[in-house]
Amino acid sequence: MFRWVSLGLVALWPISFQAQWPYGPATTPDAQRNALHAVRTQVNWLQNSTRTAANYRAQGYGNVWQTFQELRQVYGTFKRTLNPQQLAYGANELAELDAGLDIIQEAFANYHEDVASGQPPGMALNHMCQVLRQGSKLWLKELNETCARLRVGWG
């Protein structure tokens, strides 16, 4: 008898179903806002690492390189939070942002060329860091404009 009563109570228990976000869990507005915040934070860390690189001498280059690679990773994670409509609508702008990171990355190759041509490493590092600061500042401006246009993080 107890079994029948408990089955009856279970049958009367309110069942709640949570609606799924139509784009899946990784593309929610909250996920987009969090990922965009992470990209902006990583750009700030890159900016800071370029300001302090000279203090670390030989390690300065490695610190800046690592921070830049982390920016690429965080940006890749951010792009995975975009829904199909945002990806389609912003395909050109996102391709330009990808190309922008490639162009910024050329500063590292230029550093090696400068050192190989006889420029003192400290001077080459300072020049590279200046280019990275300016480039990442412009890149972040473009990212912010693209995100506003794509309504990133909007419900």
- Where in the chain are the domains? 24-150
* The pLDDT of residue 8 is above 50: no
Tens digits of residue pLDDT in 55-67:
998 899 999 999 9
Query: Residue 98: its pLDDT value, please?
Result: 98
Q: Which one of 3.30.465, 2.60.40, 1.20.120, 1.10.287 gives the CATH number of domain 24-150?
A: 1.20.120
CA 81 to chain centroid, in Å, comes to 10
d(CA 135, CA 133): 6
108 and 128 in contact (C-beta within 8 Å)? yes
d(CA 136, CA 90): 20
3-class secondary structure, 83: coil
What one-letter code names the amino acid at 8? G
Output the pTM of the full model.
Answer: 0.82
